[in-house]
Amino acid sequence: MNHTNGYADSPLIALRDPRSPAAEAYRTLRTNIQFSSLDKPLHTLLATSTAPDEGKSTTLANLAVTIAQAEQRVILVDCDLRRPSLHTLFGLSNDIGLTNMILAHNDAPPPLQETGVPGLSLLASGPLPPRPADILGSRRMEAIIQRLRGMADMVLFDTPPVIAVTDAAVLATRVDGVLLVLEAGRTRRDRARRAREILEKVKANIIGVVLNGARFDGEYGYYA
């Protein structure tokens, strides 16, 4: 299968148009993350935003693709147990995923799905639970993070907006780093400041901010 052609209408620009400025910006983001963690390697990374529709899921998915393209083993985990979307980006099922893993026995294999990108697997959200924050803050979730960490070079977690609900802040204390995704011309400055304050309050390791949709040389791109 030609994956570039297979993603002709996809928001995954790193696959659809790998020579575009936006795809190159994702590779720059990948490099920046690697350099930011020279002293203490990042194996687990969480992405959040200040509000819905700021592009955090698409940003994280594209970042996952570029890391996998650098011959790293990557697991992408949909921890947005309110509005999961990663399975849609890759054209996969959401019938089974993280919530099933939380309820399963410890020795059950994680319900990972192949994405079509070599080295990149997806753990979809699975059926949506009544109290997502309780699940993400559980000891069972902590054990799952450690287990996934042992199966890949990099584990990336997509979470709901940090201002709206506590999910991201709860999970931020259990990962090596946090990316805050904002959208140029849309994210309000006070909301960005508030998001940062929430993450700093729980002592999250904010490694950077990604600005979506920033104009640069007449193109839309993604920059850290």
| Span 178-184, average pLDDT | 91
Q: Residues 68, 69, 72, 73: is their CA dihedral positive or negative?
A: positive
Say what the alpha-carbon torsion angle 126, 132, 137, 138 is, to the nearest 10 degrees.
-60
| pLDDT tens-digit map of 22-76 | 899 999 999 988 887 667 789 999 999 998 888 899 999 999 999 999 999 999 9
Q: How far, in Å, CA of 168 to CA of 200, rounded? A: 12
Indicate yes or no: pTM above 0.85: yes
The pLDDT tens digits for 107-155 are 788 999 999 999 999 999 999 999 999 999 999 999 999 999 999 999 9
**Average per-residue pLDDT in the chain?**
88
pLDDT above 80 (res 160): yes
